């Protein structure tokens, strides 16, 4: 888990140095939270969501905690619903991650615009593609991780 957070931190840092626009397209911290929430449950997902959200907030110059709150809720929902439904098939995993990222983005944008009373910077509309691209990447990575895990267990 710690290694995953470090990798997400490094990816976020590197993409930020390459182009700030790339940060609008992928949310690596959300993938870490969703993966471990699925594996370990809603409480673990909520705690990891708060931690990863605060790390993500440290990259911004806005209010500290907005991403933390959004990721906490998203982590809890990911752990809760993954315990109720099977989210391991590739298509289901994609839609599960897509919905969770949309919910997180809506919570984040709502809190941000409420606190600042301004419009959210969407990076020229790139932010609207973030749930789709993050879900595509996440479903593929989760599928490969499950495949590798099953090979090791066999």
Q: List, for residues 2-48, the tens digit of each pLDDT value.
A: 888 898 888 888 888 888 778 888 899 999 999 999 999 999 999 99
| Contact present, 101 and 131 (Cβ < 8 Å) | yes
Render 46-91 in DSSP notation, one character per residue.
HHHHHHHHHHHHHTSSS-TTHHHHHHHHHHHHHHHHHHHS---SHH
Instruction: Render pLDDT for 63-104 as a digit per residue (tens, 0 to 9).
Output: 678 889 999 999 999 999 999 999 999 999 999 999 999 999
3-class state of residue 95 by DSSP:
helix
Read off the pTM: 0.89
Instruction: Give the dihedral of Cα atoms 131, 91, 144, 102; nearest 10 deg.
Output: 20
CA distance 53 to 31: 12
99 touches 78 (CB < 8 A) = no
Instruction: Report d(CA 85, CA 80) in Å as an integer.
Output: 9
């Amino acid at each position: 888990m710690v290694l995953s957070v470090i990798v997400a931190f490094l990816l976020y840092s590197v993409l930020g140095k390459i182009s700030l626009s790339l940060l609008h397209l992928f949310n690596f911290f959300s993938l870490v939270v969703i993966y471990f929430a699925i594996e370990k449950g809603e409480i673990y997902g909520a705690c990891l969501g708060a931690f990863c959200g605060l790390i993500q907030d440290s990259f911004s110059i806005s209010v500290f905690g907005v991403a933390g709150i959004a990721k906490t809720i998203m982590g809890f929902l990911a752990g809760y619903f993954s315990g109720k439904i099977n989210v391991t098939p590739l298509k289901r995993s994609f839609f599960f991650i897509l919905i969770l990222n949309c919910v997180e983005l809506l919570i984040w944008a709502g809190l941000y615009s409420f606190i600042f009373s301004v419009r959210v910077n969407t990076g020229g509309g790139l932010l609207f593609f973030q749930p789709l691209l993050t879900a595509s990447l996440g479903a593929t990575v989760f599928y490969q991780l499950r495949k590798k895990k099953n090979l090791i267990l066999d």
